[in-house]
């Protein structure tokens, strides 16, 4: 599972509308380790190292983060239909990005505002779900629906008042999801929170097996369920808010990829979470390669992930007959 993402990463550096040979890419990468006299144009090196490489790494990072977050949520809520936006983080971050676009803020400020609103959205969901110092799973889901609907309404209001000639197209295109603005700076912004969130989920992955049995059973086995839920929510929120802030709304990744992981390694979260990291990274990187190279104009990621994810999820439903473990 490590070979496929790394192989796709290398292929992504020479796949695109501007042709670069695989051998030339290998020479450019090798020259970064062992300095040598370049026999290629400077423009080719810029395309490979400053445009395609950060974009490919960011695609892998976002795909891996959304996938492991979806797997953790599905285990925590014991629901195969749960995805990373269940607690309202996507809608809240989308509204924050729309506000930034309305105010004509730069890319760095847009990412920061979207990330902050994503955290606020999940914070509101968690506060609404607190009942007598506990957070029942059903209350979290219902509160997430309420918060997501609220921020979706605010997002619709922002689109309604946006200038139809400039602001509205920018907001609409951003919400469809894209990595065309990927750069070393956006990669530096997204890497720390996504990496920290993934590490946190991997450290508690064996406890997710107990939490998936139910709160009462988990408490009987000595697991502090409220602390564990809090850790999972914080980690997944960091990942999802960061992903949305740098590439917009990319759906179906956190919903479908965990099911693919269960087909390959089973439901044990000790193996499922690392598997979803690899599969998600390879999947979104492949989708992004298709999005930027199959047509003259780039296709938004959200369109392709839905076109691929919805039929595949329908196939999974028919094959498993609803039995997801």
**pLDDT tens-digit map of 5-38:** 999 999 999 988 888 899 999 999 999 888 888 8
* pLDDT confidence band for 324 (50 / 70 / 90): low
* pLDDT confidence band for 81 (50 / 70 / 90): confident
Q: What is the pLDDT of residue 176?
A: 92
**Helix ranges, 78-106 (H):** 89-102
- The kind and range of the H/E element at 120 are helix 107-129
Cα atoms in the 13 Å half-sphere on the side-chain side of 210: 16
User: Using CA atoms, how far apart are residues 99 and 82, in angstroms rounded to an integer?
Assistant: 27
Residues 3-320: name the CATH superfamily: ABC transporter involved in vitamin B12 uptake, BtuC (1.10.3470.10)
**pLDDT tens-digit map of 176-234:** 999 988 888 899 989 999 999 999 999 999 999 998 887 788 888 888 888 999 999 99
Question: How many percent of the chain have pLDDT more than 70?
Answer: 98
How much of the chain is helix, strand and coil, in % rounded to 5? Answer: 75, 0, 25
Which residues are 134's β-sheet partners?
131
User: Using CA atoms, how far apart are residues 247 and 226, in angstroms rounded to an integer?
Assistant: 31
User: Using CA atoms, how far apart are residues 147 and 95, in angstroms rounded to an integer?
Assistant: 12
Max Cα distance, the chain (Å): 69
Do 95 and 243 touch, CB atoms closer than 8 A? no
Q: Is the pLDDT of residue 44 over 60?
A: yes
Question: How many percent of the chain have pLDDT more than 90?
Answer: 70
Instruction: Catalogue the E-assigned strands of the chain.
Output: none
Query: Helix or strand or coil: residue 50?
Result: helix
Q: What is the pTM of this model?
A: 0.94
Q: What is the pLDDT of residue 313?
A: 84
* pLDDT confidence band for 321 (50 / 70 / 90): low
Do 179 and 58 touch, CB atoms closer than 8 A? yes
Q: Is the pLDDT of residue 161 over 60?
A: yes
Query: Helix or strand or coil: residue 134?
Result: strand
Do 8 and 286 touch, CB atoms closer than 8 A? yes
Cβ neighbors of 94 (< 8 A, separation 6 or more) are: 114, 151, 155, 175, 244, 248, 249
* Ranges of each domain in the chain: 3-320
Dihedrals φ, ψ of 134, to 5°?
-130, 160
**pLDDT tens-digit map of 230-263:** 999 999 999 999 999 999 999 899 999 999 999 8
**CA 208-236-131 angle, 5° bins:** 75
Structure tokens at 34: 């062992």
């Amino acid at each position: 599972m490590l070979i496929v993402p790394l192989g796709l990463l290398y292929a992504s550096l020479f796949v695109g509308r501007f042709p670069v040979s695989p051998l030339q890419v290998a020479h450019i990468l090798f020259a970064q380790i062992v300095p040598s006299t370049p026999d290629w144009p400077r423009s080719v090196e810029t395309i490979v190292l400053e445009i395609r490489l950060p974009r490919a790494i960011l695609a892998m990072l976002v795909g891996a983060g959304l996938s492991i977050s979806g797997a953790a949520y599905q285990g925590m809520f014991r629901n195969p239909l749960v995805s990373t936006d269940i607690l309202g983080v996507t809608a809240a971050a989308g509204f924050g990005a729309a506000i930034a676009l309305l105010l004509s803020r730069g890319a760095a400020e847009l990412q920061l505002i979207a990330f902050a609103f994503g955290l606020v959205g999940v914070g509101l969901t968690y506060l609404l779900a607190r009942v007598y110092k506990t957070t029942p799973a059903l209350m979290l889901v219902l509160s997430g629906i309420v918060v997501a609907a609220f921020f979706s309404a605010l997002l619709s209001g922002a689109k309604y008042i946006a200038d139809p000639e400039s602001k509205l197209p920018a907001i609409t295109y951003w919400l469809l999801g894209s990595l065309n603005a990927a750069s070393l700076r956006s990669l530096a912004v997204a890497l720390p929170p996504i990496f920290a969130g993934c590490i946190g989920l991997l450290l508690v992955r064996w406890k997710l097996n107990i939490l998936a049995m139910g709160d009462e059973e988990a408490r009987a086995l000595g697991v502090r369920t409220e602390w564990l839920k809090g850790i999972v929510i914080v980690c997944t929120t960091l990942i999802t808010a960061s992903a949305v802030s740098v590439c917009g709304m990319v759906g179906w990744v956190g919903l479908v990829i965990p099911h693919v992981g269960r087909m390959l390694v089973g439901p044990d979260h000790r193996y499922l979470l690392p598997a979803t990291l690899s599969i998600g990274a390879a999947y979104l990187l492949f989708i992004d390669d298709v999005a930027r190279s199959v047509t003259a104009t780039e296709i938004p990621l959200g369109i392709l992930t839905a076109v691929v994810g919805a039929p595949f999820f329908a196939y999974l439903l028919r094959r498993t007959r609803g039995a997801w473990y």
